[in-house]
Amino acid sequence: MGIFKFYEKMLEKEINKKNIPKHIGVIMDGNRRMAKMLGDKPTRGHYIGAKKVREFIRWCVDLNIKIITLYSFSLENFNRPKDEVDELMDLFEKEFRKIADDNDIHKYKIRIKAIGRIELLPERVREAINYAENKTKDYDNYFVNVAIAYGGQQELVDAIKKIGQKIKNNEMDVEDITMETISKHLYTSHLPYPNPDLIIRTSGEERISNFLIWQSSYSELYFCETYWPKFRKIDFLRSIRDYQRRKRRFGK
């Protein structure tokens, strides 16, 4: 057994199976820097990172983590060079179809859903998203949310517009607005646990970058130096161990 495999087994023994986060968010950062390090074009890193997603889902299922939200493409990412964005859209189309046909997705009854301003995506990507969502719509053992064309502030704007329209239509009153009202109008309203217990960000950057800004009010944050394509199970288990060592008081 190699030294890393031995360390992985040690970490697994340290994990308290009774204190597992229900919902993990991941800011999958470092794909382009990984590609640059390899001397390749930026999108090469995204292709390697896409393979890591399926591996990461399996790690979470093994620990019975019910919900994963993956930050895959922000609204700001549309400002990248057109050829890079186009190639990313090709990748998203391919990966949504691939994950929809993945045996493990159906074995473990994992529901796939895209969250964000999906209408801004090319038709071919929207069709692939619909394919994945329709094939898994009846599953509720696990949830994988892909934040694509996503922005946390924009999500709040969209929620406020929906609430405002209901007030305009006399379906509700201003005084009826509560935190629960807002939560019910967010992209994550379909989830049994919409607020992530833990958010992991790879690549060494230490900021939330407009990701789940309402839902992350009490999330524990874990920053990892490793680029997303090189994120190992050891890194994952360390994040869980770190989460379990923290005292969560929620202001009490």
* Paired sense of beta strands 198-201 and 67-74, if any: unpaired
> In sequence order, which residues have a C-beta less than 8 Å from that of residue 110 and are 6 or more positions away?
57, 61, 104, 136, 139, 141, 142, 143, 144
How much of the chain exceeds pLDDT 90, in percent? 86
Instruction: Set out the domains of the chain in order of their start, with CATH numbers.
Output: 19-151+196-238 (3.40.1180.10)
In whole angstroms, how large is the CA radius of gyration of the chain? 19
How much of the chain exceeds pLDDT 70, in percent? 98
Give the pTM. Answer: 0.95
Catalytic residue among 16, 19, 29, 176: 29
Q: Assign 42 a pLDDT band (cuts: 50, 70, 90).
A: confident
Q: Assign 38 a pLDDT band (cuts: 50, 70, 90).
A: confident
Catalytic residue among 64, 77, 140, 210: 77
Q: Alpha-carbon distance 11 to 245, whole Å?
A: 13
Q: Assign 70 a pLDDT band (cuts: 50, 70, 90).
A: very high
Active-site residue, 64 included? no
State the DSSP code for 192: S
Q: Are 21 and 196 in contact (CB under 8 A)?
A: yes
| pLDDT tens-digit readout, 95-123 | 999 999 999 999 999 999 999 999 999 99
Q: Which residues pair with 70 in a beta bridge?
A: 26, 146
* Paired sense of beta strands 142-150 and 110-115, if any: parallel
Active-site residue, 103 included? no
Amino acid 123: pLDDT: 98
Q: Is 167 left (phi over 0), alpha (psi -120 to 50) or beta?
A: alpha
